[in-house]
């Protein structure tokens, strides 16, 4: 099973700033996925990141707000730009091996 390391594990940020979250996988994967979990809510898919191409964003999420990099098959970053308190959430990266999904421990972001 894939092992996913995510950092930072948590951060408190000022509104208007940006935070980049890193996700490292211990094996090469074609697709990586970024999710957001708002307080008390379920996980919502932000985008799918493929190596060598632009990320595919879900409805309600845009590249200017959540730029994603995927420089190789084991690494991806998600940036939360121009943050506001509404961006306070847990952000998780995920990969799929065969048909099972694996998750990092998440980044708990608080915007003040």
Partner 1 sequence: SQQGEEDPQALSIQEGENATMNCSYKTSINNLQWYRQNSGRGLVHLILIRSNEREKHSGRLRVTLDTSKKSSSLLITASRAADTASYFCATAPTGGFKTIFGAGTRLFVKA
User: Among all chains, which residue has been given the structure tokens 């972001």?
Assistant: 109
CB nearer to partner 1: give 19 or 91: 91
Residues between 14 and 33 that touch partner 1 (CB under 8 A): 31, 33
Helix (H) or strand (E) holding 41: none
- Phi first, then psi, for residue 87 (nearest 5°) are -85, -5
CB nearer to partner 1: give 38 or 84: 38
Minimum gap (Å) between residue 71 Cβ and partner 1 = 20
Q: Is 105 in the site for partner 1 (CB under 8 A)?
A: yes
**Cα dihedral 87/73/26/57 (nearest 10):** 20
Select the residue interacting with partner 1 from 14, 53, 85, 99 (CB under 8 A): 99
Piece of 14-22, 36-44, 68-76, 80-88 that binds partner 1 (CB under 8 A): 36-44
Of 78, 64, 85, 65, whose CA–CA distance to 14 is shortest? 85
CB nearer to partner 1: give 19 or 92: 92
Q: Is 96 in the site for partner 1 (CB under 8 A)?
A: yes
**Cα dihedral 48/49/55/59 (nearest 10):** 20
Residues between 49 and 78 that touch partner 1 (CB under 8 A): 58
């Amino acid at each position: 099973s894939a092992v996913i390391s995510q950092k930072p594990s948590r951060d408190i940020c000022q509104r208007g700033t940006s935070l980049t979250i890193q996700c490292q996988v211990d094996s090469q994967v074609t697709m990586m996925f970024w999710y957001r979990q708002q307080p008390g809510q379920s996980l919502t898919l932000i985008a799918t990141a493929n190596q060598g191409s632009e990320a595919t964003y879900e409805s309600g999420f845009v590249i200017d707000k959540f730029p994603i990099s995927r420089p190789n098959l084991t690494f991806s970053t998600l940036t939360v730009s121009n943050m506001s308190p509404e961006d306070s959430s847990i952000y998780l990266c995920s990969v799929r091996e065969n048909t099972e999904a694996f998750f990092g421990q998440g980044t708990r972001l608080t915007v003040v």
